[in-house]
Amino acid sequence: MEDKLWYVVNTYSGHENRVKENLERRVETMGIQDSLFRIIVAEEKVIEYKKVNAKDAHGNKVEKMKKVEKNKNLFPGYLFVEMIMTDEAWYVVRNTPGVTGFIGSSGGGAKPFPVSPEEIESILRRIGESDQAIEVDFEVGDVVKILSGPFQGQEGKIDSMDDDTQSARVLVVFASRETPAEVSYVDLEKI
């Protein structure tokens, strides 16, 4: 029996979730659940602030900042598919509406190369889909650099760690004040 591996599927940009739904339906209707497992659009939550018009207590127009949480696609135009590369599964994925092909295939009927376990694990951790614990070389009290997110590039001191959520509370200086930020282990580097 072949191994269950991850592959990158190219889609029309902006249609990733629709293609994911189409593919999940096809897996069910064609009965290939034993060959096609997880289908992921690599998205992470981001917080944006938007200006909105409002009225104060006296009925005057004022601008306020509204916090909006959105999903940001980390790889527009791509899906990650965990599958056993059988002829049938390969055919079903390639012929799903919105799929333009596999990444890592030379064409002419050649099957694609899988994503390396290290690469896919890094992506799964970033979007909170990993079931593997992250080994870290830092602890409470250490100074770390934040690698991504709103505090990217800033340094801070680890105040607390939560191994269940794989995140740390990092104290960063923001607006001349020490501010706590919840940061995933994968986005921290010991200094």
Query: What are 27-55's pLDDT values in tens digits?
Result: 999 999 999 999 999 998 777 888 888 88
Residues 147, 118 share a domain: no
pLDDT digits (tens, 9 = 90+) for 9-24: 999 999 999 999 999 9
Whole-number Å distance between alpha carbons of 5 and 82:
5
Q: Which amino acid is at 66?
A: K
Q: Are strands 155-162 and 167-174 parallel, antiparallel or unpaired?
A: antiparallel
158 secondary structure, DSSP code: E
Same domain for 20 and 110? yes
pLDDT tens string 133-163:
677 899 999 999 998 878 889 999 999 998 8
Q: Of 77, 94, 126, which residue constitutes the final position of a domain?
A: 126
Distance CA 88, CA 98 (A): 18
The pairing of beta strand 5-11 with beta strand 43-55? unpaired
- Whether residues 122 and 170 share a domain: the answer is no
Query: Has residue 137 been placed in a domain?
Result: no
Query: Are 109 and 148 within one domain?
Result: no
Shared-domain flag, residues 119 and 149: no
Q: Which residues contact 9 (CB under 8 A, 6 or more apart)?
A: 19, 78, 79, 80, 81, 93, 99, 101, 102, 103
Number of domains observed in the structure of the chain: 2
The pLDDT of residue 168 is above 90: yes
9 alpha-carbon distance from chain centroid: 15
Helix (H) or strand (E) holding 105: none
**Structural domain harbouring 122:** 5-126
Share of the chain above pLDDT 90, in %: 57
